[in-house]
Structures are given as structure tokens and as C-alpha cells.
A and B are shown apart, each in its own frame.
Chain A
Amino acid sequence: AQKITQTQPGMFVQEKEAVTLDCTYDTSDQSYGLFWYKQPSSGEMIFLIYQGSYDEQNATEGRYSLNFQKARKSANLVISASQLGDSAMYFCAWGKLIFGQGTELSVKP
């Protein structure tokens, strides 16, 4: 069975600091990659960043970057220079169908 695990139900970070959200994957299907989504309180899912399973370099997208460690099967999201608007639920997902449990990030002023 394929499984995505986010072990941090809630995280706090001070505004302007960096924060790392953990995600590990246990899948046999390597044809997809790993996605990170942000879900604010309004409910919509916002795509943040994608890492292909065969990509060697860590993906980056503005203030978002992935710390992708294949041997550990982890793809942690790093948000640099946190902003108040970053407060939301964050989900990692494998392929298009399997989501982790989510991490609620709260940015403190």
C-alpha cells in the first residue's frame, strides 16, 4: 500500500524565520512525484511545488524549496522568510491521489 506521512500535526514559526515541514513517502510506484499544497482556511488547495521522483536536484519555487532525500524517502518543504499569510494547512501528496495527514502552520508576528 502506498502511504504518505506527515508527522507534525501543528507547527509554529516566527515571522521572517524559515520553517521545515516533514513528509515521508512509502510507495512502490516511482512514475509519479511528490507535490506540496497549501490550504488556507477558505478551503481551496493551492499548488506550491513539485519534485519528480527521478529529479536529482531539489526543486525550488520562490520562497519554497524541497529537501528531497531519496534514500530516506523524504521530501520536506522548506519555507523561507515566513509571512503571516503562510498560516494554513500544508499537505504533501504522492502523484495525484495520495495525501498526507497535513500540517497546520501558524506564523507568529
Chain B
Amino acid sequence: GAVVSQHPSRVICKSGTSVKIECRSLDFQATTMFWYRQFPKKSLMLMATSNEGSKATYEQGVEKDKFLINHASLTLSTLTVTSAHPEDSSFYICSALAGGNTGELFFGEGSRLTVL
């Protein structure tokens, strides 16, 4: 099946720094990718929809200046957590849509961010 890779899988940073997380579709092109945030033993909360070549669409309550999303190519979307604070510590997961809007959704392995 299709593969989506996230990097890094774990990252620890100091408060106030910025962290970039990459989401790559390895064997298919994805015009649409999604970014989720998940707290321990909780559901996935959609943060934003990333569209190749255009601005991301953010869900209500998600600060777009805080969570910068860039989808510069058909195989790569990045999430940058700017000026990170301890409350930004979480598990971030991306998914990529294969085959257009009715295609199958493939998930990355997730990235665990810890802000000290």
C-alpha cells in the first residue's frame, strides 16, 4: 500500500523555539494532506487541510500564525510550530489523500513533540 512518512518521529525543543515537522507521500502524489493533533488516549483533532500550491485551511480555534503549514510540492507538506510553548507538546499526525477527493487516506507515523 501507499506510504506516508513523517519526520522527525520525536522532537524535544526549548520553549520559544520553532520546530518543523515533515510529511511526505513516498509513492504517490497528494494534492491534499491533513494535519491532526492528538492528546494521550484522546481522539485526533483536525487542525488544518493542506492543499498543494495554495494556502492551508485551518479549523476553528487553530492559530494559523502559530502552526504554519506549507505544501510546496505534491509529495511534501510541512507543519512548523512557531515559538513553541509547553502546552504545544502533543502528538502530531499527518495524512495524505491518494487518488483525488474520493481516494484513500494514508497516515504518517506521527511526531511526538515535547516542549521544555
Contact = CB atoms under 8 A, between A and B. Distances in A.
A102 B34 contact: no
Contacts of B54: none
A89 interface: yes
Nearest to B111: A43
A96 B106 CA distance: 10
Contacts of A36: none
Contacts of A89: 41
Interface string B76-109: 0000000000000001010101000000111111
Contacts of A100: 43
Contact of B46 (A45, A97, A101): A97
Contact of A45 (B41, B45, B93, B104): B93
Given A96-B95, A97-B34, A43 B109 contact: yes
25 contacts: A35-B105, A37-B107, A43-B109, A43-B110, A43-B112, A44-B107, A44-B108, A45-B44, A45-B93, A45-B95, A45-B110, A47-B104, A47-B105, A91-B43, A93-B44, A96-B34, A96-B105, A97-B34, A98-B46, A99-B43, A99-B45, A100-B43, A101-B42, A102-B41, A104-B41
